[in-house]
Amino acid sequence: MPMQNIQQAINRLTEHEAKKLLQTLFSQTEQLDDEALGKVVRTIRQSLSATRKEHQLKTVHLVFHPALAGALRHTFKKVPSEQIISFPDILSVGPVEALHTQEGIEQRFRWLREHLRGPHDQQEFTRAVETIHHIPPHVPILIWTSNNAAEQTGLRFAAYLLQDAPNEISELNTKDAFDALHVAVDGYTIDIRHSGELSPEQLHDIYAHVKPWQWNPIRRAAIEEEGMSLMYDEFLLRKWEYGELWSADEERHDAFVMKCAKELQKENSGEYFQAIGLIGKAFGELEDYTGDSWIEYRVRELIRQGDLEVRGDLTDWRKYEIRVVS
C-alpha cells in the first residue's frame, strides 16, 4: 500500500481504533531483539512527542533577520506554544530565481559563496523552507517584516511557499508598529533599516500592543502573486521604494560607494586608506539594507573596473587598502 494511502487510513482512525493498533504493535515487538525493539520504541516516542508539540503550538513566527530571531527566541523562551522559523540570509541581494526549489537554493548559495563573504548557511535555509511546509494546518502564522527590501522579499517568498496552506496568515511590520506606538503618544520615531535594530524590549512591546494585519483573501492573493513573480526574477538586487518591492541593477549603489571613497580619500590627503573604512562608511550611510558583504562586493567590482586602485590582500577585507583613480 502506498505511504500516502497508509497516512490517510491512519488519519481516519478513531481514538479507540488507534489505541487497539498501538496495542497490536507493542505485542508484536515481543518477537524483536533488543536493538530492533529499542528503535521501534524510540520512533513511537518521537512521533508522540512531535504530535504533542503540534497540538501545543499557538503561533508560528516567520522572520528574516537573525537578530530579530534571537530577540524573539529570548522573548518566548518560556512560551513553548510559540515557534520561530528563521531564514539566515539577506534576501535583498543575490539570486532568488526558483528559490522555492532545491535547485534554486543551490544556485543562490553557489553565487553567494563565489561573490560575498560568508558565512552562508545553506543547510539552515533549506531546513527553514522544509519546516514551513510542515507547519500544522490549524496553527496561525505571523510573518514579521519591515520597510526594507530584505524582509519584504522574505514576506513574499513565505507567502509563495504557503500558497496552498489553509493557515490563517498575518503580518507585523516592525517599523510601522513602532511608529503607531510612539509617534501619536510620545511624538517621536526612530529610523530603522531592519527589524534587528530593535531591542527585545521594543519587540515585546510591539507584539503585546500592536495587532498584526490579518490577511484577507485579496491581500493574500496579491502577495502570493508577487511572490510568484520573484521566483522568475533574474536580478541580483532588490529595493524597497514607495511602499513597493522593485528589482534593481547591481550597480545601483556604485555611485554612492564612489562618493564615500572620494570623501575618505580627501580625509587621507590622497593616500591609500583601509577598504574596511569605506565599507563601514557606505554601509552605515546607505538607506537600503544590503549587508556589508554586498558593499565589499561592489568595492571589488569597482577595483576590477579600474575606478579604484588597490594594494594588499584582496582575500581579506581587513588587509587591503584602496584609493580613487585620478
Q: What is the 3-state secondary structure (H, E, C) of the chain?
A: CCHHHHHHHHHCCCHHHHHHHHHHHHHHHHHCCHHHHHHHHHHHHHHHHHHHHHHHCCEEEEECCHHHHHHHHHHCCCCCCEEEEECCCCCCECCCCCCCCHHHHHHHHHHHHHHCCCCCCHHHHHHHHHHHHCCCCCCCEEEEECCCHHHHHHHHHHHHHCCCCCCCEEEEEHHHHHHHHHHHHHCCCCCCCCHHHCCHHHHHHHHHHCCCEECCHHHHHHHHHHHHHHCCCCCCEEEEECCEEEEECHHHHHHHHHHHHHHHHHHCCCCCEEHHHHHHHHHHHCCCCCCHHHHHHHHHHHHHCCCEEEEECCCCCCCEEEEECC
Structural domains present in the chain: 3-56 (no CATH), 59-248 (no CATH), 251-324 (1.10.10)
Q: Is the pLDDT of residue 48 over 80?
A: no
Confidence band (pLDDT; 50, 70, 90) for 150?
very high
d(CA 110, CA 106): 6
- 182 — pLDDT class (breaks 50, 70, 90): confident
Full-model pTM: 0.81
pLDDT at 316 over 80: yes
* pLDDT score of 49 more than 50: no
Lowest mean pLDDT: which of 31-40, 64-73, 149-158, 297-306? 31-40
The percent of residues in the chain predicted with pLDDT above 70, rounded, is 81
59 against 42, higher pLDDT: 59
Are the C-beta atoms of residues 303 and 310 closer than 8 Å to each other? yes
User: To 5 degrees, how large is the angle CA 312–CA 115–CA 235?
Assistant: 140
Strand pairing category for 82-86 and 244-248: unpaired
